[in-house]
Amino acid sequence: MQNDILFFAEQRNGRIQKICFELAGGAKRLASQTGGRSIAFLAGQDVYGEAQSLLQAGADCVFFADSPLLAYYSTDFYAELMEQAVQSVNPGLILLGSTTVGMDLAPALAVKLDAGLAADCTGLWVDDGFRMARPSLDGAATDILYCPDGNPVIATLRPGVLTPLAEEEALSFPAASADTVKELSLSLAEEALRTQNRVELIEIEPGNKRSDDITKARVLAAGGRGMGGPAGFETLKRIAELLGGSVACSRACIESGWADTACQVGQTGKTVRPALYLACGISGAFQHTTGMDGSGLIISINKNPAAPIFDISDLGIVGNVEVILPQLIQALEAYQGI
Ligand SMILES: Cc1cc2nc3c(=O)[nH]c(=O)nc-3n(C[C@H](O)[C@H](O)[C@H](O)COP(=O)(O)OP(=O)(O)OC[C@H]3O[C@@H](n4cnc5c(N)ncnc54)[C@H](O)[C@@H]3O)c2cc1C
């Protein structure tokens, strides 16, 4: 087994995305088990400064490519450059986030490298090679994957599955030296890169909808079908405001059109790990809890004392959200002097 672990450091508008710090932490921990290095691949425009932050996040080495042509993601450019990084270090494992970009780049890279790809994983560990887990059969089972001939193995990880290094943990590893940032040459001339690009980004149209990124929230006020309708979500918005958090929901609420799809937590939604997850009128189906059971503190309100959500809750309140949540708002407003 090759020991090094390479991860894709996705940037948007020149800023490293949160998932990269999770991949950096995960790669560092795995590399400490394999005896290898955690190596970042970063492409973009004016991204040298971000390379330094990757070293602090756990990368032992950063390969970066800098060009105006790389300011926005392009499958062809990025796959070409990442292949160069792979050929330089010959890693055993390549990690990407299960983001829109990661899910586009990973298969392109797998084809170039003739490598095995485990997509949308919810677990990753070392056990005589790399093992990956992902939900299957509508969440009734978990597949454990292994790539016997895949060297390297490519895995895309859902946001929130790996965690960034805590400050103290980072100090327990030897610091990376300053000469570990290596620039990749753009092997083809810029004009050649331009003409070989099979998909060109011609314009970015701003969206008219803004949803909070629930994977970044420290507090989530989450609602399920038990919230009763859109008015229930207005109540949750107020609670989220008062607690400095965001609103999340179960899939039932997306299907009912009560909340934005970006708020969905679970198997087909997002994986979140807020410090506080307030689950209101959510039954606790496996497909939901798989996306939030790593939260710091889970408080649930449900009128059914046998609701499965209570099995994973730190505090369970049996009661009606229509009664309890207005009281919570009143108490929070009073506490904040509003
Ligand atoms: C392939 C597949 C993928 C899926 N992916 C996801 C996913 O990513 N995320 C997800 O969430 N689901 C997902 N689901 C759906 C999942 O199986 C459940 O159906 C869904 O999570 C249920 O949502 P819920 O808990 O809001 O609704 P319900 O199961 O209907 O539960 C509502 C709960 O609210 C309680 N309640 C009702 N009224 C009140 C009240 N006034 N006060 C307090 N409590 C009240 C009830 O007791 C009940 O426990 C998926 C399903 C499949 C098949």
User: Which residue segments constitute the domains of the chain, with CATH numbers given?
Assistant: 5-196 (3.40.50.620), 214-335 (3.40.50.1220)
Unique residue bearing structure tokens 């800098």: 66
Question: Which pLDDT band, with edges at 50, 70 and 90, does 189 fall under?
Answer: very low
At residue 191, the pLDDT reads 60
Which ipTM was obtained for this model?
Answer: 0.99
How far is ligand 1, taken at its centre, from the CA of residue 252, in Å?
A: 6
Mutation pick for ligand 1 pocket among 283, 318, 320 (CB with most ligand atoms within 8 Å):
283
> Cβ of 136: how many Cβ atoms within 10 Å?
12
Q: Per residue in 129-147, pLDDT tens? A: 899 999 887 667 889 999 8
At residue 182, the pLDDT reads 81
How far is ligand 1, taken at its centre, from the CA of residue 287, in Å?
A: 9
- The mean of the pLDDT values for the chain is 90
Amino acid letter, residue 253: C
What is the DSSP pairing of strand 141-145 with strand 181-183? unpaired
Instruction: Read off the pLDDT of each residue in 272-277 and give the average, rounded to a whole number.
Output: 96
Q: Where are the beta strands (DSSP E) in 83-139?
A: 93-97, 116-121, 123-126, 130-136
How far is ligand 1, taken at its centre, from the CA of residue 194, in Å?
A: 48
Q: Per residue in 139-179, pLDDT tens? A: 678 899 998 876 799 999 988 889 999 988 888 887 766 56
Residue 239 to residue 159: CA distance in whole angstroms: 25
Does position 235 have pLDDT exceeding 80, yes or no? Answer: yes
At residue 194, the pLDDT reads 65
Instruction: Enumerate residues lining ligand 1, CB below 6 A.
Output: 138-139, 224-226, 250-252, 264-269, 281-283, 285, 287-288, 291, 301-304, 307, 320-322
Residue 251 to residue 225: CA distance in whole angstroms: 9
> The dihedral of CA 208, 214, 220, 226: what is its sign?
positive
Phi, psi of 273 (to 5 degrees): -140, 60
